[in-house]
């Protein structure tokens, strides 16, 4: 993929957003965590050294409490990277090392080219003002200041003039839907609105990296969901690099481009929501994701299979008939030279055209096919699967046929991987994979 050399401004502050044509994995690294340990206690360095040599967490208890053990990952520009774990897993300790509140006992935290483990106190203060900002769980607003002045506070710390910082703060408030509340005090706002002020304050600072520590966990469920949706909308506009800490699996699955699962100080798996749900690294992760609504997380791309019966538009009824006979189906998808989906041809129409001496597919390709995109959640696939006996066609953004989803594949995807056995499938499941291509 290519990256624009002059990306458009992300917001009113002029910060560039990542090229939307790229995926996070194509982009430069914004934050790099390399072999990080954090130990609290009498002899943290000695404890970290023993952990590096393979000692377990319990084996170093006399030296200190190991909160983070050998954490390593990269976060790409414009990515929402979620760190998920239960209480005591080390996730909150980890995020405090990402903004320099705590220094690692061992390892490196790179923010761009600056190593937060070794920078001076002066440089660290500068980085906090200009490169990384944080949204806290309990808002951390100044009660005696207005909403506007709270949002402008980090710019005041940066030394920005009053008029300019208030203008930037107002822009940030407008982005989070608080345009008419700039003169109110925090005490006059609901919990969700106060969290929006905290988010606006972080956006106004216009830093490269946004850290969010359990930012929505204090909110009521409905407000929490609303804030999650707003964060995703803002991310579409601004393309910030966001590291989001949560103990809520559904929140992690909903927000994260990638998710790091922590347990007892260690990162046990890093992957997309689909990867973690479909291929858990161990029993702990498998149990963690056991109750997730798979239909809301998995998408068409994760369950689609290669189509067995595809006919080129430039071919004729003889090719179409042979293709369907060999695949043992009674209908096939038709694509052009670019593999763009054109419709469906049926076996009886192909045979009739062949008997009539017809050499093209003219007049026998039926449109009305309703393909789905690769990003369509499984929850939205059941209706189209029920309405047609053909496998559901999956197309990319350019309309090219990239896969199909037979009904049996869709049903099988609802079963967690560790529970799938051959006895779970009907006796003729293999046949169904092919014969679902019957007449629509």
Helices 317-327 and 347-355 pack at an angle, to 10 degrees, of: 140
Whose CA is closest to 151, among 195, 210, 204, 209?
Answer: 204
pLDDT at 3 > cutoff 60: no
pLDDT at 53 > cutoff 80: yes
Q: How many other CB atoms are there within 10 angstroms of residue 344's CB atom?
A: 24
How far is it between the farthest Cα atoms of the chain?
91
Burial 177-216 (b: 16+ CB within 10 A, else e): ebeebbeebbeebebbbbbbbbbbbbbbbbbbbbbbbbbb
Answer yes or no: are the C-beta atoms of 173 and 151 closer than 8 Å.
yes
Residue found under tokens 């910082």: 165
Residue found under tokens 């703060």: 169
Q: Which two tokens stand for residue 148?
A: 């506007």
Options 1.10.150.530, 3.40.640.10, 3.40.50.10540, 3.40.50.300; CATH for 24-131+207-292 is 3.40.50.300
In 116-204, which residue ranges form alpha helices assigned H by DSSP?
121-130, 147-157, 162-175, 191-204
Stretch 411-425: mean pLDDT: 55
pLDDT at 40 > cutoff 90: yes
DSSP, collapsed to helix, strand or coil, labels residue 7 as: coil
Which class is domain 301-435? alpha beta
State pLDDT tens for residues 173-221. 988 888 888 889 988 888 888 888 888 888 888 888 999 988 888 778 8
What are the φ/ψ torsions at residue 110 (nearest 5 degrees)? Answer: -100, 120
Q: Domains of the chain: which residue ranges?
A: 24-131+207-292, 301-435
What are the φ/ψ torsions at residue 253 (nearest 5 degrees)? Answer: -65, -35
pLDDT band at 141 (very low <50, low <70, confident <90, very high): confident
Percentage of the chain beyond pLDDT 90 is 40
Rounded to whole angstroms, the Cα distance separating 439 from 194 reads 56
pLDDT of residue 393: 92
**Do 24-131+207-292 and 301-435 show the same overall fold?**
no
State pLDDT tens for residues 266-282. 999 999 988 888 888 88
Rounded to whole angstroms, the Cα distance separating 19 from 53 reads 42
Look at the pTM and tell me if it is higher than 0.75.
Answer: no
What residues are paired with 345 via a beta bridge? 332, 365
pLDDT band at 315 (very low <50, low <70, confident <90, very high): very high
Answer yes or no: are the C-beta atoms of 77 and 27 closer than 8 Å.
yes
Whose CA is closest to 286, among 418, 424, 412?
Answer: 418
pLDDT of residue 229: 87
Stretch 289-318: mean pLDDT: 84
* Residues constituting the chain: 440
Higher pLDDT, 66 or 159: 66
pLDDT of residue 253: 86
Q: Report the DSSP pairing between strands 106-111 and 80-84.
A: unpaired
State pLDDT tens for residues 352-396. 999 999 999 999 999 878 899 988 888 888 888 877 778 899 999
Sign of the CA dihedral 350, 352, 357, 363? Answer: negative
Residue found under tokens 């982005």: 175
From 93-102, 182-191, 421-430, the region with the lowest mean pLDDT: 421-430
DSSP, collapsed to helix, strand or coil, labels residue 265 as: coil
pLDDT of residue 383: 83
pLDDT band at 23 (very low <50, low <70, confident <90, very high): low
Q: What is the radius of gyration, based on Cα positions, of the chain?
A: 27
pLDDT of residue 27: 81
């Amino acid at each position: 993929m290519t990256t624009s050399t002059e990306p458009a401004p992300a917001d009113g502050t002029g910060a560039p957003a990542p090229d939307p044509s790229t995926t996070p994995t194509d982009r430069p690294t914004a934050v790099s965590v390399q072999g990080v340990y954090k130990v609290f206690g009498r002899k943290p360095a000695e404890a970290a050294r023993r952990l590096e040599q393979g000692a377990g967490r319990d084996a170093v208890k006399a030296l200190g409490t190991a909160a983070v053990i050998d954490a390593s990952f990269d976060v790409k520009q414009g990515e929402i990277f979620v760190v998920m774990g239960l209480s005591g897993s080390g996730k909150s300790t980890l995020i405090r090392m990402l903004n320099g509140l705590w220094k690692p006992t061992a390892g490196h935290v790179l923010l761009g080219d600056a190593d937060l483990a070794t920078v001076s106190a002066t440089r660290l203060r500068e980085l906090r003002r200009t490169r990384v900002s944080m949204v806290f769980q309990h808002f951390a607003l100044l009660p005696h200041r207005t909403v506007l002045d709270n949002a402008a506070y980090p710019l005041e710390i940066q030394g920005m003039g009053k008029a300019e910082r208030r203008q930037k703060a107002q822009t940030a408030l407008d982005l989070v839907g608080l345009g008419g509340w700039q003169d109110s005090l925090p005490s006059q706002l609901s919990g969700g609105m106060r969290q929006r002020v905290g988010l606006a304050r972080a956006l106004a600072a216009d830093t490269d990296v946004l850290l969010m520590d359990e930012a929505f966990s204090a909110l009521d469920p409905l407000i929490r969901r609303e804030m999650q949706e707003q964060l995703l909308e803002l991310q579409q506009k601004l393309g910030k690099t966001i590291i989001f800490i949560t103990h809520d699996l559904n929140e992690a699955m909903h927000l994260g481009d990638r998710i790091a699962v922590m347990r007892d100080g260690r990162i046990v798996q890093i992957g997309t929501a689909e990867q973690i749900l479909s291929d858990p690294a161990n029993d702990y992760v498998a149990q963690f994701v056991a109750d997730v609504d798979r239909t809301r997380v998995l998408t068409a791309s994760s369950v689609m299979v290669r189509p067995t019966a595809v006919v080129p538009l430039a071919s004729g009824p003889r090719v179409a008939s042979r293709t369907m006979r060999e695949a043992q189906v009674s209908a096939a998808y038709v694509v052009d030279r670019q593999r763009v989906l054109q419709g469906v041809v049926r076996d009886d129409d192909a045979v009739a055209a062949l008997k009539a001496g017809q050499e093209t597919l003219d007049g026998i390709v039926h449109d009305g096919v309703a393909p789905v995109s690769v990003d369509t959640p499984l929850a939205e696939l059941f209706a189209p699967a029920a309405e047609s006996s053909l496998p559901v066609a999956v197309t990319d953004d350019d309309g090219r046929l990239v896969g199909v989803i037979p009904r049996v594949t869709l049903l099988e995807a609802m079963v967690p991987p560790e529970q799938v056995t051959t006895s779970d499938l009907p006796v003729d499941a293999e046949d169904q994979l092919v014969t679902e291509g019957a007449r629509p």
